[in-house]
Amino acid sequence: MSCSVTERVPESRPGTGGGGCRLRGSSSSLSGAPGSKASVTGGGSTGVGSGGSTSAAIGGGLRQKPCCLCWCCCCSCSCSTPGKGNEENGQGKNNSNADLLNCNGDPPPSLEEIRSWGRSFDKLMKSAAGRKVFRDFLRCEYSEENILFWQACEDLKKENNPEVIEEKARIIYEDYISILSPKEVSLDSRVREIINRNMVGPTPHTFDEAQLQIYTLMHRDSYPRFVNSILYKNLAQQTGPDSGRATGDQQQQQQQQQQQQSQSKPEVSHG
């Protein structure tokens, strides 16, 4: 079976050599921010895919690429196929879940805490493990830069050294605000003007307006899909390799108790 619909295409940005990636369809075009990304079209075009291979126009269409070169179809993204790679190696998907919840050696969150992430976006973002899982989901949606920008702003607020603040603010601007960056976040013109004024004398709160706008964007746009994703539903139902076993043992114990109770009831004789 061959995959000819999608392939990895480097972004074309002024002053850069690429860096990001966008999906190219066989008959549609995708474009980024006006003036910052080049549009990509399918029919009759020539492009460079993953591995340096080229796809040329043949008979008015694209040459079909074998699946082994189709990066998008073959990646094992945990948000759509949690634990896929581990299952193929003979390990259960619970091991993959444990890796997702393992954050800097801290104890994994409880099942109740994980389920609270589905009820409150604030609780999700306040949890280190929750942010890690949410970042993994955003990576699958090609919007990981949103949470990376939000975390960079949080780190900036903790600084007190003016030189460090200025350096970190410059890095944040180049990585997430500049239209030349492949990780540019989506901000309106009003917020961009505020940032440009604040960059004259950077402070820990230089990007507060932008951070709030990206936080609201993740809450309204990405968070509902995260709650309904296979990744989160799997975590909310089973948090570790012993969870399913514990549930089965509890059910078995309840059945045994019911049997013992029924056997211990005195027989009533009818004279």
Torsion (CA) 112, 118, 119, 124 in degrees, nearest 10: 80
pTM here is: 0.57
> Which residues belong to CATH 1.10.167.10 in the chain?
84-232
CA-only gyration radius of the chain, Å = 25
pLDDT per position as a tens digit, 131-140: 999 999 999 9
In Å, what is the CA distance from 137 to each residue of 30, 117, 144, 201? 22, 14, 8, 35
- What secondary structure letter does DSSP report for 266? P
Give the residue from 47, 40, 44 showing the smallest Cα distance to 61: 44
| pLDDT value of position 26 | 43
| pLDDT value of position 237 | 86
Distance CA 192, CA 42 (A): 33
Contact 65, 50 (CB under 8 A): no
Give the residue from 159, 244, 169, 259 showing the smallest Cα distance to 206: 169
Residue ranges in the chain whose pLDDT is less than 50: 1-76, 81-92, 239-247, 268, 271
Contact 262, 167 (CB under 8 A): no
Distance CA 207, CA 64 (A): 45
Residues contacting 214, CB < 8 A, separation 6+: 146, 149, 150, 185, 186, 187
| pLDDT value of position 3 | 47
Q: Do the strands 61-62 and 47-48 form a parallel or antiparallel pair, or are they unpaired?
A: unpaired
Give the residue from 118, 92, 133 showing the smallest Cα distance to 242: 92
Answer yes or no: CATH 3.30.2320.50 is held by domain 84-232: no
pLDDT per position as a tens digit, 242-257: 444 444 555 566 667 6
- What secondary structure letter does DSSP report for 30? B
